[in-house]
Structures are given as C-alpha cells and as structure tokens.
Amino acid sequence: MVRSLEQEGVEVIFGIPGGAILPAYDPILDSPIRHILCRHEQGAAHAADGYAQATGEPGVCMATSGPGVTNLVTGLASAYMDSIPMVAISGQVPTWAVGGDAFQECDATGITMPVTKHNFLVMDAQEIPKTIAEAFHIARTGRPGPVLVDIPKDVLQAEMAWWYPEEVDLPGYRPVTKGNPKQIREAAKLILSARQPILYTGGGIIRAGAADELRRLVELTGIPTVTTLMGRGGIPDDHELCLGMPGMHGNYTAVTAMQKADLLVSLGVRFDDRVTGKLATFAPDAKIIHADIDPAEIGKNRAVDVPIVGDARSVIHELNEILEAMIEERGLPDYSAWVKTVQGWQKKYPYKYSQTADGPLKPEYVIEQIGKITKGDGVYVAGVGQHQMWASQYLRFKRPNTWLNSGGLGTMGYAVPAAMGAKVGRPDEQVWAIDGDGCFQMTCQELATMTTENIPVKIAIINNAFLGMVRQWQELFYDNRFSAVEFGYDVPDYVKLAEAYGAIGLRCETPEEVESTIRKAAEIDDRTVVMDFRVDPTEKCYPMVPAGASNDEIILGPEFEKDHADILHDTPEAII
C-alpha cells in the first residue's frame, strides 16, 4: 500500500495510527513519504484538504477503523462540497470479523458514501495497487473530490506479488473535459449580443487552473467579473474589472450587478444558495450560460440557456478562440455604459467600517492590516463565520490557490489544520490563518503537531468572545435574545495556550497595537505564532442578504445611514 502511494508521487501523509491500520505504518519507516502525526483525525483530513488546495495535488490522510474513520468524516464532507482532491486510507477490522460488530468496527464505506466521490473496500491484497491507482485517478479527474480506501487489517498483512497498473481504465467513468463546440459558439453569440453581461466565476476556475484563460476572457471582452467565495484569486482583486465577492456577505456592486445583468456567463459555479439568495428572484432578467465539469450541476438550481459540460480551462480557452475570431469580424459590443454604472457603484458603496483611535478594536481593521502588511503575498486560510467573510472582503487576492476555506460545508475548526497542510505544501510561503475564537477551540490541538513537526504558521484569532455570526443572527432576527453564544475573552488564555503547545502567543487589544503585533508575527519564521486580537463583540458583518431573502433586499449596514437617500435613489430595494 505504501509503495502504491509512492507510485502516485505522494510526498506526505497526515494521519494517526491505530490497531487496524498498524500494518500500513511499519513500512512508512522505510519510505521517503513523510508522515505527519496529527492530534485528531479531523485535523488530518483538513490538513490534507489544505495541502491539496495549496498545491493542486491530492492530499492524503490516514486513520484506523471505527472512530478513526468517523473522525475523518467531517473533513471528507468539507472536501466533497468544495471539490478538493483527496485520498483517505482507513484501516478496517480483519475480513473474518467484518459485520460482527468487532472492536472499533464501523461500516466505513457506508458512512462515507454520501461524502466521498467514491470509496473502496479492498478484500484482496493483490487488488491494493490497482485500487490506489484508481482512487487517485478518480480524485484528480473530472470534478475533483475525496476518495476513501478502506482496507481490512489481514489484507494489509497478506503477501502479494508486486505490480502496479500502467494506466487506469474504469468502465463507465469518462469525465467530459472538452466542451461541445456548437454550445461554445452559441455562448459566444450570446455574449456578443448582451448589453449588461457579468462573468460569474467560482471554485471551478481555481480547481481547473483556468485563471490565465479567465483573465484573457475578461480582457478580451471587457466584461465585469465577480469571484465567489471559492473563486477568490481567480482574477486579481486589483484588476479594474474585478468586482469581488457576491452573495450573502458580498459587496453591493457584485450582488447588484448580477441582479441587473442581462447575461450571466457562469464558469465553474453551482448557483449556491448563499450566492443566489431567494432563487426565484435571482438575476430575473438574465440569460444563463453555465459551463461546469459536472453535468449534474447544470440546471440543478437555475434553468440554463446555454449549457456546456467541460473543464473550465478547456472551455474558456475554446470560448476565447471563437470570441477573438468573431470580434475581429464584427467588433465588440459597447459595454461602456454598463461598466461605467458598475464602477460607479464600486466607488459609491465599498465595504465600510469605522475604527476610532480610542474605540474598541474592529475586526475589519485587524484583517485589513494583515492584508496591507503582507501585501497579498501569503497564503490565507479562514475558519467559518464572521471572520471568514471579513477576510474575503478585506484581503486583496493576487493569485489562485492562495485563499483556502471551507466554503460549502462551512466547517468550524477548518483553519488551523488546513493552514498546517498548506504550509507543508508551500513551505517557502508565509501561511496566515484567520480564525474565530469559536473555530480555533475546535482544532487547536494541532498546534502541537505544528511544533513537533516544525510547521510554522501565523494564526490570527479574531476573538470577539462570542460565536459571532450566531450572535449577529440572534441580534437581528431573534430580538437580541442571545442564547448559548457567549464564550468570554479569557477562557482559555490564548497566549498561555499557545505557549503550552510550544508556539509564540501575542495579545492585542487596541488599534495602535495592531501593526506592531502583525509585524512581530511576520518576523518569526521558526515557530507558529498565535495572535489574540480582542475585538468588538457587537460588530456585525455587512453587507448582508438575510437567509431566504432576495438579493434585492441587501442590507448595507449602519455606515451607509447618512447616504440613505442616495442608495434609495439608485436601487429602491436596498435597505439599511
């Protein structure tokens, strides 16, 4: 099994040994593969996810049977929702004990079936190499995703004649990567007949390595472009046609431009409910071009005018070729009035917050300063909640694969282990985790792994003493009835906790301390640094489209109160 992993070019495994997987651990001692001993299997799975997102190569995690594999499930589900290539290896009780409720037995393939792209139970040692090859092939190709390989202990111990398949042939598995030329030509015609088009781009751009082709399309057509939470970095934020993130906490311009568009060119996206808001009112006047590697996504949530099944890079390349010829022949439509309108919204309704010199520390200020000091040159990882949204709002992304988070499943506890995995994959870059105090406490035991394995990352805890997003919803929608949501600032003491794990702990409570704290952390490269930023617990994340509401009901927030009249003039539906 280990030799099969070597054949696939695996360099690192994140895992924890146990009884059923022990036979796989002994040969690791003689293998060039690095094993990183995590402190919890969920951490191992998220670390493999972070490694995969940072490198584009499948991440590998390993666990024993029973609780070992059930602890992997959250990480597998997160990777599945975000189309992250991973291979998970789990030990199983011996074949003779399967189905007998043996110690640490569970139905690993049954439990993980809904949260993996595919899974295997290997009952013959001779099949291990072939199964590993197929697992990596499935994880990497088509729509990427996690694959689990469950191997009983006696199968791991059995002798076999070594062989490795030169190629993989899976009957019935033929992912379509090249888009239909006729459909791509129809898409090009629709683009050149539109007057208010928007490029709606998502994680498929990142997974397919399509950023260069996307930029070519943007600059060829001059069409404004939104990047979803999973698509951030697909086009640089400083590009004049990049509108940033749409959705529940997206910016006003990205949300409204999609609502007012007459055409959405949707590339590697899945019309997620956090983007569409109330689906029936989403982009009501827009025709839809939808290109995606997964045919099941097309038309799933929104009827489509031009469907294209294919890999984003291949489809956009072909679209660019056709568009270039068409534009040379008939010219480009005049989108200038539309672009001027959209860019006018950008100037008028940027993200806003207010940080006073003597006031409480604002989380947006902390995150914005991290972005300014690091100049967007790092790899950034977020947990889930308010801090995740603020990070996506206030960091400025230059490149793909530099923004990692659990976008679909929304897994609290993702950031710390995923940052560890990203640092292993890209050791020469600084990795910054921006986490909430609630998230951090779910997986902070991986600080021990970072220390013992010498994996130094920077972790900024946006400590508002609450489960911040829950508090925000209880304030806005439950009449300020704060139920089971307060953690407090002081328990645990994050500085002492960091030190106990062998990391550096820093605390920051005022605006004037922020820059020096970040710079000090940036200068420490031999140990993990944990920064406890104690921020205003009452700060809320805006803009906001309430769950189930139309995107036309976007709430801009208190910073726009004084501009209320102007907002109402521009879009009657916008509310403060």
Which residues are catalytic, by number? 41, 103-104, 153, 469
Residue 492: asked if its preceding bond is cis (omega within 30°), the reply is yes
Do the bridges between strand 306-309 and strand 263-267 make them parallel or antiparallel, or are there none, so unpaired? Answer: unpaired
Instruction: Provide the strand spans (E) within 483-575.
Output: 504-508, 529-534
Partnered with residue 505 across adjacent β-strands are 530
| Helix, strand, coil percent values for the chain (each to nearest 5) | 45, 15, 40
Q: Which of 353, 418, 409 is nearest to 382 (CA)?
A: 418
> CA–CA separation, 184 vs 190, rounded Å?
10
| Cα-based distances in Å from 275 to 237, 456, 547 | 19, 34, 11
Instruction: Provide the strand spans (E) within 407-457.
Output: 431-436
SS3 526: coil
Neighbours of 344 (CB within 10 A): 12
Partnered with residue 289 across adjacent β-strands are 265, 306
DSSP per residue, 56-67:
SSPEEEEE-STH
Q: Which of 508, 485, 512 is nearest to 495 (CA)?
A: 508
Is 532:505 a contact under the CB 8 Å cutoff? yes
Q: Which of 501, 535, 500 is nearest to 517 (CA)?
A: 535
Is 380:53 a contact under the CB 8 Å cutoff? no
Q: Is 331 left (phi over 0), alpha (psi -120 to 50) or beta?
A: left
Which residue in the block uniquely carries the two structure tokens 């328990």?
491
Do the bridges between strand 197-201 and strand 263-267 make them parallel or antiparallel, or are there none, so unpaired? Answer: parallel
Is 555:413 a contact under the CB 8 Å cutoff? no
User: Cβ-count burial of 309 within 10 angstroms (0-12 exposed, 13-18 middle, 19+ buried)?
Assistant: buried
Is 8:136 a contact under the CB 8 Å cutoff? yes
Sequence letter at residue 331: G
> CA–CA separation, 397 vs 417, rounded Å?
21
> CA–CA separation, 572 vs 576, rounded Å?
11
**Crossing angle (nearest 10°) for helices 312-330 and 181-193:** 50
Q: Which of 137, 76, 144 is nearest to 311 (CA)?
A: 144
Residues whose CB is less than 8 angstroms from the CB of residue 445 and which lie 6 or more positions away in sequence, other chains included? 39, 40, 43
Neighbours of 328 (CB within 10 A): 9
**Crossing angle (nearest 10°) for helices 468-477 and 386-394:** 100
**Tokens found for residue 377:** 């040159």
